[in-house]
Structure 1
Amino acid sequence: MDRRITELVNLTKTKFGLDNYFLQRHSLRRNVNIFNETIYTLSMEWFPNHVTVPEDDDSNPEGTAVIDINVTTRKYESVIFVMGKTYVNNGVTFAGLDRNDMIKWIERETGLTYGKQFQLHKEEEGRLLFNECMDGIAVSPSGSIEIKLDNEGRLTFFSVLGQFPSKEMVKAEKYTLTFESVEHLAKEQLKLVEFPSFEQEKLFPVYAVEEVYVANENTSLISFEFIEDVRSYQKIGETIHWDEPVDKPFDRKEVHWLEEATVEQAFTLEPSPDSFPITKVEKEKCLLTVRELLRQDYPKDTGKWILKTLHRENGYINAILRMSNQTNRVFKRKLVIIIDPKSFQAVNYVDNKPMLEMFDHFSPPEEVTITREEAYEKIKDKFEINPYYVYDFDCEQYVLCGKIDCEYGVNGSNGEIVALGDL
């Protein structure tokens, strides 16, 4: 074992009191965060000493400690004791399950400040869940911190998910948006959508708000879809056409995800291939690849698909396509084509059509008798606009926005106000 890995292993054993454990497995992996930085993580699986490990068994028995640490910062990303069982004697413990002690420990471990960068979202006995924030304002993409204890106050779960940006990455400004100032934009977000009821196996026509972020500075719109997916995309927006189909069907191949990293890659902070921008030449090659696959497996669909975006993921380039004429259902048709970035051959693809077909036997929606204007008047007082710091991939900064949202909708067939969470 490399001495640098040994050092991290020993640090972990001491910190979490793993004297009754042995290191069964460890591995290095890497991922790219939204800032396009490559993060290397050492993942360790510690087994209790009394466990007998069968050969060829990759499962983790009760009480196993699965611990991930950032190789560079030496901050722990997650600590999970399987099934909430721990055999630690002198580990991380909180007498009396004291909330303040737990918060102070989190601050020490993460270097974050409570109330400024994370705030309490939910509290249960032996469990605290926090949301990421910036000066008390919610952040998007969102992050969270969670901690769980057993009845004796011993740590059984800890995880940190999110970016938790420094102040330098935040564009400071005073929040000035009001609903009145963006009402014209809010009204445009009210869309007629067919919501499925699995209980009744029926589709309901509902006017509902399509969530969107409005920039505080210039009231420009930032799509909720791209922000919440926590990934940098190259927007394309090109409709794919062809004259002749291809008779030979596409041959799907196995996808080999690039997950594990080497010690040298980790300690030299070698950039992941996923962090590289997609060049103009690569974009053109991807367009040809997408067209070729559609000609093979969707021969009659010329002009029906739009290549929305390209992005790198797990060593491949993913092309995301949407139908040009979508239905107004909640779930939209989507096609993801996985492309080898060296050969620019399609490796595989995922079409969500089989999932959408489950709604084919649902009863169709009733006739719409309410106009959008009428629906808007019914629920405009239920609209919300709340401040958010949203990461802008173009300017590589967090910008202050207002999130337009509404938890209610209007049934287009009878005008009743409905809670969307109940559908």
Structure 2
Amino acid sequence: MDRRIKELVDLTKKKFGLDNYYLKQHSFYRNVNIFNKTIYTLCMEWFPNHIIEQEDDESNPEGAAVIEINLHTRKFERVIFVMGKTYAKDGITFANLNLNNMINWIEYETGLTYGKQFQLDKQEEGAFRFRECIDGVAVSPSGYIEVNVNQEGDLTLYRVSGQFPSKEMVKEEAYTLTLDMIEHLAKEQLQLVEFPSYDQEKMIPVYAVEEIYVENDGMLTIPFEFITDVRSYLKIDKIMNWNESINVPFERKEIGWIEDVTTEQAFSAEPSPDTFPITKAEEDRCVMTVKDLLRQEYPNDTGKWILKTLHRDKGYIHATLRAKRQENRVFQRKIKVMIDANSFQAVNYIDNKSMLEMFEEFQVPDNGMITKEEAYEKIKELFELKPYYVYEFKQNQYILCGKLDCQYGVNASNGEVIALADL
């Protein structure tokens, strides 16, 4: 075993009291974070000493420990004792489930400050979830810290996800945005959408707010869909047109979701290919590849699809398409095409058509509906505008925004105000 790996293995064994365990296997993983930096982790699987063989389905046995450590910060990012069972001796424990002791431990482990960079989000019996913040203000996309313990207070799960940025990456300012300032935007974001009711087997027309982030000056907006993921996208927005189809069936290939990462790549922090920008030449080849796949699989759909974005992921370039003509429904028609980043050949694709087909037999709304203006008057007092620090990819900075949202909608058929969570 490489001495650098052994050092981390020994550190892990001592820290989590794994004297009753042996290291079953280990491997390296790499991911690209929101800042386009490559993060390498060492993943270790520890088995209790009394268990020699793995389960028939290759799942880890009860009491096994899966532990991941960031190679460069040497901070632990994931600790899971399978099925909440631990055989750790003198491991991490929180006597009497003392929350203050837990917070102090998290601060020591992460280097973060409670109330400034994370705060308690949810607490249940033996399960605690903390949410990322910046000086108490929510962050998007948000990070989380989870801690689970058993009845004795022994650690059974610890997981850290998110960025928790330094002060240098935050554009701090006083929050001044109000709903009165963006009333025109609030009206624009109220959209008529059909929600499926599985119990009634019909589509329910509802005026609901499409979430959006509004910058603190009230001038610019950031669509919610581009904040919910932790990667940057190359926007294309190109309608796919063609004159001739291709009469050769497309052959799907298996996608390899796990990369083979060597020890030297990991410890030298070699940048992942996913960090490289998509060049104009690569963009052009991807557009042609997507068009050829559509010509094969959707020969009669010329002009019906828009190539929205391209992004890299695990050695592939993913192309996301949306139907040019969309129904006013919660679930929209889309296709994702996976392209080999070296050969620029399409290897597979996913179409959500089959999922949407289940709604085709649902009863559609009649024409007797209230107007958008009437719906707005019923619901405007229930609009929410909460401060958020949002990561803006172009500025490479967290900027202060207001998140415009509403937990309620208006049934367009009868004018009833309803909780969206109940749909």
**TM-score, scaled relative to structure 2:** 0.98
How far apart are the structure 2 equivalents of 1:218 and 1:287?
A: 35
1:33 match: 33
1:235 match: 235
The reply on whether 1:356 has 2:356 as its aligned counterpart is yes
How far apart are the structure 1 equivalents of 2:368 and 2:231?
A: 37
* Match runs of 1:208-223 below 5 Å: 208-223=208-223
| Number of positions where the alignment pairs a residue of Structure 1 with one of Structure 2 | 423
How far apart are the structure 2 equivalents of 1:63 and 1:55?
A: 13
Pairwise CA distance, 1:125:
2.4
Asked if 2 retains the 8 angstrom alpha-carbon contact of 1:30 and 1:260, the reply is: no
SS at match of 2:380: helix
* Match runs of 1:80-91 below 5 Å: 80-91=80-91
How far apart are the structure 2 equivalents of 1:201 and 1:302?
A: 32
Asked if 1 retains the 8 angstrom alpha-carbon contact of 2:306 and 2:323, the reply is: yes
1:399 match: 399
1:126 match: 126
Using a 3 Å threshold, how does the CA distance of structure 1 residues 55 and 215 change in structure 2: closer, same or farther? closer
* Match runs of 1:110-189 below 5 Å: 110-189=110-189
Residue identity in the other structure for 2:91: G
The CA RMSD over aligned residues, in Å, is 1.1
SS at match of 2:389: strand
1:408 match: 408
What CA deviation, in whole Å up to 9, does each residue of 1:151-189 have, x standing for no partner?
111100110011111111001111110000011111100
Pairwise CA distance, 1:55:
8.4
- Structure 2 spans left out of the alignment, 5+ residues: none
SS at match of 1:284: helix
Residue identity in the other structure for 1:20: N
1:333 match: 333
2:46 match: 46
Pairwise CA distance, 1:248:
1.2
How far apart are the structure 2 equivalents of 1:101 and 1:55?
A: 36
How far apart are the structure 2 equivalents of 1:72 and 1:139?
A: 24
How far apart are the structure 2 equivalents of 1:155 and 1:51?
A: 21
Asked if 2 retains the 8 angstrom alpha-carbon contact of 1:197 and 1:203, the reply is: yes
- Structure 1 spans left out of the alignment, 5+ residues: none
Pairwise CA distance, 1:365:
2.1
Pairwise CA distance, 1:342:
1.0
How far apart are the structure 2 equivalents of 1:57 and 1:322?
A: 38
How far apart are the structure 2 equivalents of 1:336 and 1:47?
A: 39
Asked if 2 retains the 8 angstrom alpha-carbon contact of 1:370 and 1:413, the reply is: yes
What CA deviation, in whole Å up to 9, does each residue of 1:32-78 have, x standing for no partner?
00100000010111000011215876210000011011011011111
What CA deviation, in whole Å up to 9, does each residue of 1:232-271 have, x standing for no partner?
1000101010011111121111112242311100111000
SS at match of 1:228: coil
Residue identity in the other structure for 1:161: S
Pairwise CA distance, 1:107:
0.5
What CA deviation, in whole Å up to 9, does each residue of 1:76-124 have, x standing for no partner?
1110000000011200011111010001000000111100111111112
Pairwise CA distance, 1:368:
4.1
SS at match of 1:296: helix
Using a 3 Å threshold, how does the CA distance of structure 1 residues 54 and 65 change in structure 2: closer, same or farther? closer
Residue identity in the other structure for 2:204: F
The reply on whether 1:105 has 2:116 as its aligned counterpart is no
Runs (4 or more) in structure 1 with deviation over 4 Å come to 54-57
1:198 match: 198
The reply on whether 1:300 has 2:300 as its aligned counterpart is yes
1:288 match: 288
How far apart are the structure 2 equivalents of 1:387 and 1:55?
A: 48
Asked if 1 retains the 8 angstrom alpha-carbon contact of 2:55 and 2:61, the reply is: no
Residue identity in the other structure for 2:142: S
SS at match of 2:227: helix
How far apart are the structure 1 equivalents of 2:368 and 2:394?
A: 40
Asked if 1 retains the 8 angstrom alpha-carbon contact of 2:182 and 2:218, the reply is: no
2:347 match: 347
SS at match of 1:307: strand
Pairwise CA distance, 1:25:
1.1
How far apart are the structure 2 equivalents of 1:270 and 1:195?
A: 46
Residue identity in the other structure for 1:141: P
2:382 match: 382
